[in-house]
Amino acid sequence: MVRAALFVPGDRPDRFAKAAAAGADLIILDLEDAVAPAAKITARSQVRAWLAGGGSGMVRINARGTTWHADDVALVEEFGCPVMIPKTESAGDVFGTAYPLIETATGLLHTREICAAPGVVRPAFGSVDLAAQLGVDPADRMALWHARSALVLAAASAGVGSPLDGVTTDLTSSETLREDAAHAASLGFGGKLCIHPKQVGPVRDAFTPSAENLAWAEEVMAAATGGVAVVRGQMIDKPVVDRARRLLRSGGNPDGARLRNG
């Protein structure tokens, strides 16, 4: 399960191994925003060398309509690695094992069909780009509340993984990062994009169920008999059991059953 996904610039091969060792669930080899136009071809060659040498990661390609898009697509298809697709605005933009990045108003309005496209694992939220288009502050949680919730609903409706939230650009405040991650988790996001290794730990923590929540989920699963039960004064029926099972799976139990005593 990907809770923390860490970007690494595609033209900085000296950072690839460091990023892979930083504790992130997934590294994103970035050929797009992190790479200047003059370095795009070199970056692609360096990412190819990393993948050919046995390195792993997802590749963020350059958007459709750019000079580099076709060759980036060829690279991803050559190695069969997951792909982050920037500026995704329709299901036709999706290919491969895809993490479509929703970062435009058009993309947001088409999110349901994008999430339902073959190959989509889960969407990701491009909060900074969308905020720029809308003319709002990307750090203003209220301004992007609707967009985040719409993305969560679309992913759930399409039956794909919970979205990855956008980056926190403030690298000076660990509190801001924790608050951003907690806010995204409260809305139904399943993880977050990171731009520095020091963000990985706090992000993973924010999207990992607490011991208290896991204990509650275990009690619910123990009490579940197919009918209605009561746990801690709360009525327990199928939707509550489903939530408990999901919490246990998020906590590392793939079967969603009780972690103790079977």
pLDDT of res. 252: 62
> 217, 211, 207: which is closest to 248 by C-alpha?
217
Q: Between vectors from CA 27 to CA 244 and to CA 79, what angle results, nearest 5°?
A: 110
**In terms of domains, do 141 and 170 share one?**
yes
One domain for residues 52 and 164: yes
Q: DSSP secondary-structure letter at 118?
A: T
114 with 17, same domain: the answer is yes
Provide the pLDDT for residue 248.
73
Q: Do residues 130 and 10 share a domain?
A: yes
- Residues 109 and 223 both lie in one domain: no
Q: Do 241 and 161 belong to one domain?
A: no
Predicted pLDDT at 259 = 39
The total number of structural domains that make up the chain = 2
Residues 129 and 138: beta-carbon distance below 8 Å? no
Residue 255 is assigned to a structural domain of this protein = no
Q: pLDDT digits over 134-173, tens only?
A: 999 999 999 999 999 999 999 999 999 999 999 999 999 9
Classify residue 220: in a domain, yes or no: yes
Q: Which residue range is the domain that position 217 belongs to?
A: 211-250
- Interhelix angle for 127-134 vs 145-158, to 10°? 130
Cα angle for residues 228, 231, 237 (degrees, 5° grid): 30
Q: Is residue 88 part of a domain?
A: yes
166: nearest Cα among 109, 93, 102, 89: 102
CATH code of the domain in which 33 resides: 3.20.20.60
Q: Report the pLDDT value the prediction gives residue 261, as an integer from 0 to 100.
A: 34
Identify whether 145 is part of a domain: yes
Name the domain boundary from 174, 190, 206. 206
Closest C-alpha to 160, from 98, 109, 215, 72:
98
Which residues of the chain are under the pLDDT cut of 70? Answer: 210-211, 213, 226-227, 251-262
Position 25 in a domain: yes
Whether 127 is in a domain gets the answer yes
Tell me what pLDDT residue 150 has: 98
Q: Do 85 and 122 share a structural domain? A: yes
Q: Do 15 and 101 reside in the same domain of the chain? A: yes
Q: Are residues 161 and 225 in the same domain?
A: no
Question: Do 21 and 121 lie in a common domain?
Answer: yes
Structural contact between residues 66 and 44, judged by C-beta atoms closer than 8 angstroms: no
- Amino acid 256: pLDDT: 54
Cβ neighbours of residue 98 under 8 Å, at least 6 residues apart?
Answer: 82, 83, 84, 85, 117, 119, 120, 121
For 202, other C-beta atoms within 10 Å of its C-beta total 19
